Amino acid sequence: MYVLGIRIASLWNPKARKWLSGRKHLFRDLEKERLPQYRLIWMHCASAGEFEQGKPILEQLKSRYPAHKILVSFFSPSGYAVAKNDAHADIISYIPIDTANNAKKFIRLVQPEIAFFIKYEFWYHLIRQANKKKIPILLASAVFRQDQVFFRPYGKTFKNMLSRFTQLFVQDTASLDLLNENGIRHAQVSGDTRFDRVSSLVASPVALPLIETFANGQPLLVAGSTWMDDEKLLAKINGLHHDFKLIIAPHEIHEAHIKQIEKLFKGAVKYSLAKRIAAEENQLKGMWAGVNNEEQLALQKQLQNARVLIIDNVGMLSKLYYYATVTYVGGGFTKDGIHNVLEPAAFGKPVCFGPNYQKYREAIELIETGGGFSIKDAASMENLLAKLKEGHLQRAAKAAKDYISDNEGATEKILHYIQENRLLTSW
């Protein structure tokens, strides 16, 4: 029924078409890889977010088990698109539609020594087939709640699926207690591998000369993954508060949305235009040294005088947080909720977001520690910026940084379990 729905949706939905076309030659492509000749580790992620969550595990696996190949499978086209040029995996694939025959064929072609499922992925036939072949299966960074199907009166089949995992690594004690209450004992609290991931990003910040030129020594508010409601709020703040410069990295960067942002922020500069005029990418680091080009000098002045910079590309956001004085994470005025608050916190930056954050444990805990702040409108954001500027900035920044460092270590706990139980060997 689900596949039929996807086929119907593919008539007008590009993502549904990619979902189908990506699976069209899935088994043929896997056969070409001749996977049985390798010692293989398999990790499955739903999409790009789970892939980020799995990267710390992948990095450690590649380091400690260099003789193994790593295959990463995805449910979502967006996850597949992000990962296909990523160095963390040797082979990228879609996961097949979860039927009994597909599961048998996939496991026969891949023959992994161990399988990892990240956070919320539970595919009955694939897990059952891997379990039948005595392949160790680990669930990483999971969160369980009472309202999930596993714990419903009609959810026995789904709860039994959890028993097929070798070990369940959960983020918090509430999840562990819930599993134990339901007779599931092969679980332990490891924490969330996303903390390890964002800490690794902070360890090697990337220099962005255009951003330095734009900031020009002034306080900088970096707003990431914003939606239109966020941008309208920020436009009001920008008109009132001239102490901060503003960088907006919107969630959607299609041309129509960028034009909407430009209407909100008169005189804003687009990053793509600044970069094109300034220099080729490999010349950016020293681009202002000895420059005589009038157009480049004019751009430098325009950037220094501008109050708003619009990031109209994908992939820069985590690098931008390094330059921020205060950060704003979008999505808090949408029904889906806020985006990633851990990246800016890892750089030791106070994190602001809208009122819809209750589903996100990390946002709640950031508020409790003093590194995060929920705002409801432009006035409350204005008050917060003034408060931070008046002397609370360093305290909030330290609280954000400490929150990340206090929660690192999930990856090491998972790798320790693998080594202690000899689930993989390096020979």
Phi-psi region of 219 (alpha: psi -120 to 50; beta: other; left: phi over 0): beta
Query: What CA–CA distance (Å, rounded) separates 360 from 348?
Result: 19
Q: Are 79 and 218 in a shared domain?
A: no
Q: Are 161 and 228 in a shared domain?
A: no
Residue 245 has pLDDT above 80, yes or no: yes
Q: Are 402 and 413 in a shared domain?
A: no
Residue 280 has pLDDT above 50, yes or no: no
Q: Are 218 and 118 in a shared domain?
A: no
Q: Are 222 and 176 in a shared domain?
A: no
294 versus 381: the higher-pLDDT residue is 381
Q: What is the tally of structural domains in the chain?
A: 2
Q: What is the pLDDT of residues 108-130, one digit of tens each?
A: 999 999 999 999 889 999 999 99
Q: Are 179 and 249 in a shared domain?
A: no
Q: Are 168 and 301 in a shared domain?
A: no
Query: What CA–CA distance (Å, rounded) separates 173 from 316?
Result: 34
Could you tell me if residue 68 is inside a domain?
yes
Q: Domain containing 326 — which CATH number?
A: 3.40.50.2000
354: amino acid identity, one letter: G
**Nearest C-alpha neighbor of 75 from the set 105, 110, 129, 117:** 117
Q: Are 323 and 307 in a shared domain?
A: yes
Could you tell me if residue 87 is inside a domain?
yes
Q: Are 235 and 113 in a shared domain?
A: no
Could you tell me if residue 16 is inside a domain?
no
Could you tell me if residue 327 is inside a domain?
yes
Q: Are 349 and 402 in contact (CB under 8 A)?
A: no
Q: Are 308 and 296 in a shared domain?
A: yes
Q: Domain containing 151 — which CATH number?
A: 3.40.50.11720
Could you tell me if residue 179 is inside a domain?
yes
Question: Which pLDDT belongs to residue 49?
Answer: 85
Task: Write out the two tokens for 39.
Answer: 């010692």
Using pLDDT thresholds of 50, 70 and 90, give the confidence band for residue 285: very low
Could you tell me if residue 200 is inside a domain?
no
Could you tell me if residue 300 is inside a domain?
yes
Domain range for 391 is: 206-406
Question: Which pLDDT belongs to residue 253?
Answer: 87
Q: Are 171 and 213 in a shared domain?
A: no
Q: What is the pLDDT of residues 98-107, one digit of tens each?
A: 999 999 999 9
Q: What is the pLDDT of residues 392-422, one digit of tens each?
A: 899 999 999 999 999 999 999 999 999 999 9
Q: Which residues pair with 204 in a beta bridge?
A: none
